[in-house]
Amino acid sequence: MQKQLKHRKPRLIEQIKLMEFSLGSSPPSLGLQGARWSTSGDQKFMRLGFDWDTCDMSILLHAKLAKPLRGTARIVINSLHIKGDLLFVPILDGKSILYSFISTPEVRIGVAFGSGGSQSLPATELPGVSSWLVKLFTDTLVKTLVEPRRRCYSLPAVDLRKKAVGGIIYVTVISAGNLFRSNLKGSPSRKHSFSLNGSLEEHNSDKDLRTFVEVELEELTRRTAVKKGSDPKWDSTFNMILHEESGTLRFHLYECNPGSVKYDYLASCEIKVKYVADDSTIFWAIGPQSGVIAKSVEFCGKEVEMVVPFEGVSAGELTVRLVLKEWQFADGSHSLGKFHAASPLSLYGSSNFLTRTGRKINVSVVEGKEFLVKDKSGKCGTYTKLQYGKAFMKTRTAHTPNPIWNQKFEFDEIGGGEYLKIKCYTEDLFGDEHIGSARVNLEGLADGTVRDVWVPLEKVNSGELRLQIEAVRVDDNESRGAGSGKGWIELVLVEARDLIAADLRGTSDPYVRVQYGNFKKRTKVMYKTLNPQWHQTLEFTDDGSPLVLHVKDHNSLLPTSSIGDCAVEYRRLPPNQMADKWIPLQGVKRGEIRIQITRKVPDLQKKTSLDSESSSTKAHQISSQMKQMMAKVQSLIDEGNLEALSTTLSELESLQDTQEEYMLQIETEETLLLNKIKQVGQEIFSSSSPPSHSRRSIGE
C-alpha cells in the first residue's frame, strides 16, 4: 500500500506517507443471508455474504500539500465499510481453503482532516482525497482478493508453532505450449493481411516465434534464454529467495524480435507459495477456465511440477518445476529435506534469535557466476563490497565474468537482526557500475559451523555470489590478547603490490603508518613504485589493541595522501607461530599488502635485546645518530637544498620511530622481568612452606 500511495495521489498532494496502520480487532459478519454450496465439475465451492462495518481502526497519513495550498496535513481514516460476496474453495482434501470476492466489493470509508502544523485550511476536506482513498482500497482488493485472485487459509492437523520468515526455492522453467500469435495479446503479428486467393494469413509463422520467460519474486528477477517455436523448451533453473512465509512467483512471457532492442509482452501467469504450520508447503495457481491448481509437499526438497495456463489469453500454458529447498524460522532454525532439525543459520529472513556476544563472524567471498558484465573479454574488473553494521570490506578486483576471490573477512557479531549487505560492481573509466546487491541475515549461526551458500543478486536478471559463513567464539583470554606483560606482537611489513598511482607521473612513494592502540609507527619510504618492498620489522606490547595499517603516498611539501588501509586480526593467532598473508586494502580500487605477524609469548631467558646489542650501546648509538641527523638538517636548511632536506627529514622520522621502538622494547623487557621475578618468588615461597598434612602428622 505504501508503494501505491507514492505513485497514485491527488494533484493537491505533493508527498504522502503512511504513519500508522491498524484495522483493529472487530470481526466482519459472514453469511447473514445464508451460505450456498455449488459444484463445478469435481470442484465444490461455497458462496456467502461478507459485511464488515467497523470504526475500530486507525490509519494515519501525513501529506505535504502542493500549490496553491502549501503546508502539511493529517489524513485520518476512522471508519471502513466493505460489503460483497465471498467464494470459498476447499482444496487438498479439505486441508486448506482458498477464498476471494466473487466480484468487486463495495467500499466506503470515513475520512477526517487535520492540520499538520502549517496547513492553510486546517480541518477542511481536501478535494478529491476521499474518492482517491476509496479507489485505492478498491484497487488493492481487486489485485489481491477478487476472482480469480485468491488467498489461502490452511487447516493443519498439527501446529508446530514455528514462524517462517524466509525460504529458498529452486524454480525451473521447463517449457511452454500452444503459443499462437493470434491468441497472444502482445504479439505484433496479430495484424493480418489477405492473400491473393482472399484467405486471411498472418505475417509471420508461429514457428518463427522467439520467446523467453522472466521469473519474478519480490525484487528478484531472472530470465531464461530465447527459444524459437510455438512449444519452446528452456529447462532453466533459478535460485530464488522468499523473505516471508508466503510469496508469489510471477512468470512473464515476452517475444524477442531479431534486430530489435524492444521486447513485446505477450502474457503472464503466477504461482503462490505458502508455509503451513505442520511444516508442509502449499503451491496454488489459477487453472483452466479460472479453476484451481493446488499441490502440497510434506517436507522440503520434494519436487512439484505444475502446468499453469497463461492469464488473459485464449491459449498457451507454462510448465514449471518447483523445489522448496528450505524454510527459515524466527528462532534461527530451518527445515531442510526430510529432517526438521535446528539449523545454525537463518539466511534471508529476520530473526528473533538472541545473538550471543563475544563472537566473530567470518565471511569468505568465494566466487561469483553469471554476472551482468558488459565486457565479456575479461578486461573489465569485478569486485564486491560488504557492509555489516559500520564495518565496510571490499574484495580485490577480478578480471573475469565468473570471478574467483576466495577472500575471508572478519566482523564482530551484532545483535538485533543486523543484515550483511552486499553490493557487486564492475570497474569503469567513468565511474564503477553497480551490477547487483543482496542481503544476508547472519543471526542464529552455531559456533564452528560453516554454511556454504549461493546468494542470488537482487534487482538484476542474473548473477549469484557464493559465500562461506562461520561463527567463531573468541575466548576471553584471546579477545584481551596477551596483555599484562605476557608477550608482544612482531609485525613484519614485507611488501605491497598493485597499488594505485597517487602521483601525476603514474607512480607513488608509498610507506606504511602502523597504528596499534595509541602507538603509531611508520616504515621507510619507497620512491617511485607501485610494488614496494619494505622488509621492516616493528614490535608492540601485546595488549589486545586494534592493529591498523595505513598505506600512504609521501609528498615533500604537500600533505600525504592515502592509498589504502586495512585492519589486521591477530588475537586468535597461535602463540609463537608466524602467519604470512596478503591483505586487500580498503577504500581504494586495488592494492594488497603482505605482512608476517607473530604473537610472541617467550621465555624471558630466550628473549634477547633489540638487534642483540646491550641496552647502553644501543641507546648511545641512537642518541649519536639523532645528533648527526639534526646537524645535517640544519646544514641543508642553510644551503636551501629542499630535495635533500625532504629525504633527510624522512630518515629522521624513521630514526624517531626506531627510538620509540627501542623504548617500547625496554618497557616490555622490564615488565617481563618483573613478572618473572614475581613468579620465581612465588615458587620459592611455595617450595619452602611444608604441606599442611605434614604439620598435622608431626603434631600427632
User: Which amino acid is it at 144?
Assistant: T
In the predicted structure, residue 201 carries a pLDDT above the cut 50: no
CB 569 within 8 A of CB 559: no
> With contact defined as beta carbons under 8 Å apart, do 192 and 200 qualify?
yes
174-187, pLDDT tens digit by residue?
999 989 877 776 54
Q: 339-348, 617-626, 674-683 — which is least confidently predicted?
A: 339-348
Beta-sheet pairing, 233-242 with 220-223? unpaired
Does this chain's domain 357-473 share its CATH topology with 488-600?
A: yes
Torsion of CA 131, 100, 305, 278, to 10 degrees: 110
Mean pLDDT of 341-349: 39
In the predicted model, is pLDDT for residue 665 greater than 50?
A: yes
pLDDT given for residue 416 in this prediction: 56
Give 512's pLDDT tier (boundaries 50, 70, 90).
very high
Q: Is the pLDDT of residue 254 over 50?
A: yes
What's the pLDDT score for residue 584?
85
- Alpha carbon distance 436, 426 (integer Å): 10
d(CA 112, CA 77): 6
Q: What confidence tens digit (pLDDT) does each residue in 538-563 have?
A: 888 888 788 889 999 887 666 678 88
Burial class from Cβ neighbours inside 10 Å (0-12, 13-18, 19+) for residue 394 reads buried
Please report the pLDDT score of residue 338 as a whole number: 53
**Higher confidence at residue 160 or residue 367?**
367
* Domain regions of the chain by residue span: 1-154, 164-185+206-329, 357-473, 488-600
The C-alpha atoms of residue 190 and residue 210 are separated, in whole angstroms, by: 15
Q: Which residue matches cell numbers 454450496?
A: 37
* Torsion on CA atoms 452, 361, 414, 337, rounded to nearest 10: 20
Q: Which among 294, 253, 252, 289 has a CA at the least distance from the CA of 272?
A: 294
Q: What's the gap between Cα 473 and its chain centre? A: 23
* Chain center to CA of 114: 41
The yes or no reply on domain 488-600 and CATH 2.60.40.150 is yes
Q: Which residue has the cell 487447516?
A: 155
pLDDT range class, residue 444, cuts 50, 70, 90 = low
**Using alpha carbons only, what angle is made at residue 382 by residues 501 and 467, rounded to the nearest 5 degrees?**
125
Q: Is the distance from CB of 251 to CB of 302 less than 8 angstroms?
A: no
Cα separation, 228 vs 205, whole angstroms: 11
Which band of pLDDT confidence, cut at 50, 70 and 90, is reported for residue 114?
Answer: confident
Cα atoms in the 13 Å half-sphere on the side-chain side of 586: 15
Q: For the packed helices 615-639 and 642-688, what is the interaxial angle rounded to 10 degrees?
A: 160
The set of cell numbers assigned to 175 is 517449457
The pLDDT-based confidence of 310 (bands split at 50, 70, 90) is very high
CA–CA distance, 493 with 261 (Å, rounded to integer): 53
Task: Give the fold, CATH level 3, of 164-185+206-329.
Answer: Immunoglobulin-like (2.60.40)
Please report the pLDDT score of residue 695 as a whole number. Answer: 41
Cα 578 off chain centre by: 34
Of 50-54, 71-75, 197-201, 333-337, which range is least confident? 197-201
In the structure, what pLDDT confidence band is assigned to residue 313 with cuts at 50, 70 and 90? confident
Please, which residues bridge with residue 47 across strands? 36, 87
Average the pLDDT over each of 272-286, 426-440, 477-491, 542-556 and give the range with the smallest value: 477-491
Higher per-residue confidence, 338 vs 33: 33
Do 525 and 509 form a contact (C-beta atoms < 8 A)? yes
pLDDT of residue 5: 56
Query: What percent of the chain clears pLDDT 90, i.e. is strictly above it?
Result: 21
Three-state secondary structure call for residue 680: helix
Cell of 52: 464488515
pLDDT band at residue 668 under the 50/70/90 scheme: low
Instruction: Please report the pLDDT score of residue 484 as a whole number.
Output: 42
pLDDT computed for residue 240 by the predictor? 86
Distance CA 41, CA 28 (A): 31
- Please check the confidence at residue 389 and state whether its pLDDT lies above 70: yes
**Closest by Cα among 289, 294, 292 to 311:** 289
Determine which helix (DSSP H) or strand (DSSP E) holds 328, and give its type and residue range.
Answer: strand 317-329
Higher pLDDT, 449 or 421: 421
Q: What are the residues facing 233 on neighbouring strands?
A: 175
- Mean pLDDT, the chain, as a whole number? 78
pLDDT at 478 over 70: no
587: left (phi > 0), else alpha (psi -120 to 50), else beta? left
Percentage with pLDDT > 70 across the chain:
74
Pairing of strands 433-441, 592-600: unpaired
Q: With cut-offs at 50, 70 and 90, classify the pLDDT of residue 479.
A: very low
Of 12, 45, 49, 8, the residue nearest 28 (C-alpha):
49
pLDDT value of position 603: 55
Neighbouring residues of 370: CB distance < 8 A, sequence distance ≥ 6: 402, 462, 463, 464
Query: 658: which strand partners?
Result: none
The Cα–Cα gap between 75 and 675 comes to 73
Cβ partners under 8 Å of residue 330, min gap 6: 162, 163, 164, 165, 346, 349, 350, 351, 352, 353
In angstroms, the CA 273 to CA 162 distance is 17
For the chain, what's the residue count? 700
The CA distance from 13 to 74, in Å, is 11
Q: What is the average pLDDT across 302-328?
A: 92
Q: How many CA atoms lie within 13 A of 455 on its CB side?
A: 31
Mean pLDDT of the region 17-43: 84
Domain 357-473 has CATH 2.60.40.150: yes
Among left, alpha and beta (phi > 0; psi -120 to 50; other), residue 581 is beta
Mean pLDDT of 614-641: 70
Q: Quick one: cell of 383?
A: 569486485
- Could you tell me the strand order of the sheet in which 433-441 lies? 391-394, 382-388, 419-426, 433-441
Amino acid at 294: A
Dist CA 532 CA 529 (whole Å): 6
Lowest mean pLDDT among 164-173, 459-468, 516-525, 608-617: 608-617
In a 13 Å sphere around the CA of 575, the CA atoms on its Cβ side amount to: 13
Whole-number Å distance between alpha carbons of 661 and 521:
8
Q: What integer pLDDT is reported at residue 340 of this predicted model? A: 39
Tell me the β-bridge partners of 223: 214
pLDDT at 267: 92
**Which pLDDT does position 611 carry in this prediction?**
43
Q: What is the pLDDT of residue 539?
A: 87
Closest to 371 (Cα-Cα) out of 283, 497, 303, 464: 464
pLDDT at 378: 52
- At position 122, the amino acid (one-letter code) is P
- Selection from 511, 516, 496 nearest residue 569 by Cα: 516
Residues 252-273, mean pLDDT to the nearest whole number: 86
Residues 6+ apart with CB under 8 A from 681: none
Q: What's CA 53's distance to the chain center, in Å?
A: 43
